[in-house]
Chain A
């Protein structure tokens, strides 16, 4: 039973990281209507930017480095969208052109990361934490902080979408871009801001993934991408709350299953859940009717 509670604890940590990543992907998908296959590599870049601030050059505290690395990734995402994605999206009406471009960018970024930092496993410079026992869970203080950050991000995104003018514009655009444009919403500005948020969240997710796992590798983001896809599809593509719920379901399922089956297959559990969802509820558990 101890093992079970331990894995529930890890499940919370994985779900926290996953939720940040899934919300970032979902926000952007809702607005621009194509999937960013380079998202996993955005995560990797964010993690390595953080690594530069934290261990390689500046030796800042890992959490300050995380914030700087994420924001840098956000700015980079805006630039990438401006130079690449938005141009292809405007030129070709079929979304698979843009999807192939994101797929190609994913390969480019991955190899840039390999060229600069090499294939070796890196780790952040942070003090070794003692394990804290809370109820039945055993977690490090860093892992608790990761969970706290995730909760803050989730609440922040939800409040932003519900109450602010920006959030309302984003929801309007994700429902119907043309209608939003004719209602006087500056869709280009909203798209830019969305890319900034999506990029920042991807960077943050990459960095906290590195912190909670204890290491960073160039391909970690790509492997994680498919777990994000699982969370997003299980929750319902384009739905932010669905993405949060999907993240909790997938995060818990993968970690708890690792207590019972060979942990090497824990990613495949996410895939099984994905397939089951597609068979019985192909639009996801929390999908909205599209008008």
Chain B
């Protein structure tokens, strides 16, 4: 097995500069948010206290950051060592996704200076659905840092520390599987707490956690495919389609289970009619379901799965499906009562775009300076 190496090369490419511009714009709006307040930047209101900073940055952002989680299950739980070359890149993407999700939650917090109280046991509210997610995500970010630490330690040549860490790393890998299982399902449970405000097609009392978890896993596998394909093109790396296409097979399995549960729940509760009601909700549901079915259709066929071009589209469709599922449930079909409406403001969107730009910048810098990806042999 080839060893991961820093890719090297110039960091300040035109693309990188463009990302910096986007990030600078978001820093400006964050400045406004912290000096003049939330109202000056965000369109959130009494009916929609959660805007895109929560729904995209936290709920979708962490699901998109499930690559490390999904691969950890495959590699360590099912002992599929052949995927190991993908692991570090996936962990890095997870770390960045989760860290920025945490920052997103902080930005969105009205009284952010009270944040530390979350970590003080005597201030914890054990009846809060948010507590589990907050603590679990915070812990998982630390676990991801430790899981990713070997790349950094290899780079600085701290072999002694690396050896010591490798001895206990299995504990953190185990935590790295347990924690996302906990909070990704809890992110789904938020919807249970929102009750009747969630549209019937998306509300289910018993299956919210499992639906959230299954889609998060599929999004995790898809982001590994997406990110590996993008890296391959951007950094001219070796083709890893043989590995990625097998991940595609896993997606088909999980996604089928998801769709069966989803539709069984809808049928059992007599909500089938809503799908064909012809209103906004039914349209969004159909869009979402089509996006879920596209990857199943593509990835079921061995030939299509092995074609990197089509594989990307399957992954992208899956990412959009998982994101739309969350956007639908949390925002688009969410009904807090008459009179309320929400659409993110330009400044709000630019903050999220800037956060994603920062994520991409950090990814580029780290893969160029730390041993994360595998350089092509002939290069």
A, B in one complex:
no
